[in-house]
Structure 1
């Protein structure tokens, strides 16, 4: 009986290890710094922002009142996960994630469509925006 139990544990460990290995990694094309803005005549209040997606799955985003980014509003931190055209942002202190679909226009430009937001977010409308990579 003890031998069978050990064999079951080995098989279970191997199976669980295999599952963990198949979890999709964050899309490496999104790692880095990006600048975005909401349209001034869009469904939601105008904002511009800079965000930084780190390889360890953390992110930082700073929001601004103006397109020139001279009037900061706040900075948020959290965790991100992105694969298969879906990006999920879990901001520290916010109950539900923001979820976006995304598609690359080119290597330095990505288009997002918001598909889910926490009810406490500043905009509950589905909206879309484009971000551009910050170089240098």
Structure 2
């Protein structure tokens, strides 16, 4: 009986531990819809975008040619995880993640610095930008 109880506890611990490992780590402060721009006079081509970080660890993002966000270029989706000032985006179909450090300015503003990117990305320079939460 004692052996069966020990075995049951080991199986339960392994199952719960496996769930914890598979659950993405998402900073709740980043969950929601955001918009941003990459500077026109920066190191990389100008872009603007809208993204949505979902609590389940998935994201969608649409890129635009213009700041008014009327000329869509493309949309992407994938998974994200963020904690301790580091945000990692894994876009579907792209081998390596984009990694950013981030600082929350306030509940509706976050500042990012790109520190790692997939070699196929449109910009291979390190750059920074600020995103603003979309309300309503």
Same fold (TM over 0.5): yes
Q: Which moved more, 1:3-12 or 1:88-97?
A: 3-12
- Distance in 2 between residues matched to 1:76 and 1:19, nearest whole Å: 29
Map 1:1-136 onto structure 2 (within 5 A).
7=6, 10-11=9-10, 13-14=12-13, 17-18=16-17, 20-21=19-20, 25-136=25-136
Please, which runs of 5 or more residues in structure 1 have no aligned partner? Answer: none
Are residues 106 and 65 of structure 1, via their aligned partners in 2, closer, same or farther at CA, if it must alter by over 3 Å?
same
Query: Does the Cα contact within 8 Å between 2:34 and 2:134 map onto a contact in 1?
Result: yes
CA distance in 2, matches of 1:84, 1:20: 21
Question: Residue deviations 1:54-98, cap 9 Å, x none?
Answer: 111111100000101111100001111111111000001000000
Gaps of 5+ in 2: none
Alpha-carbon contact 1:24-1:83 (below 8 Å) kept: no
Q: Secondary structure at the match of 2:13?
A: helix
CA RMSD of aligned residues (A): 2.3
Change (3 A) 1:24 1:62: closer
Aligned equivalents of 2:55, 2:76: Cα separation in 1: 17
CA contact (8 A) 2:25 2:57 kept: no
TM-score, length-scaled by structure 2: 0.88
Contact 2:24 2:57 in 1 (8 A): no
**Distance between the aligned counterparts of 1:102 and 1:33, measured in 2?**
16
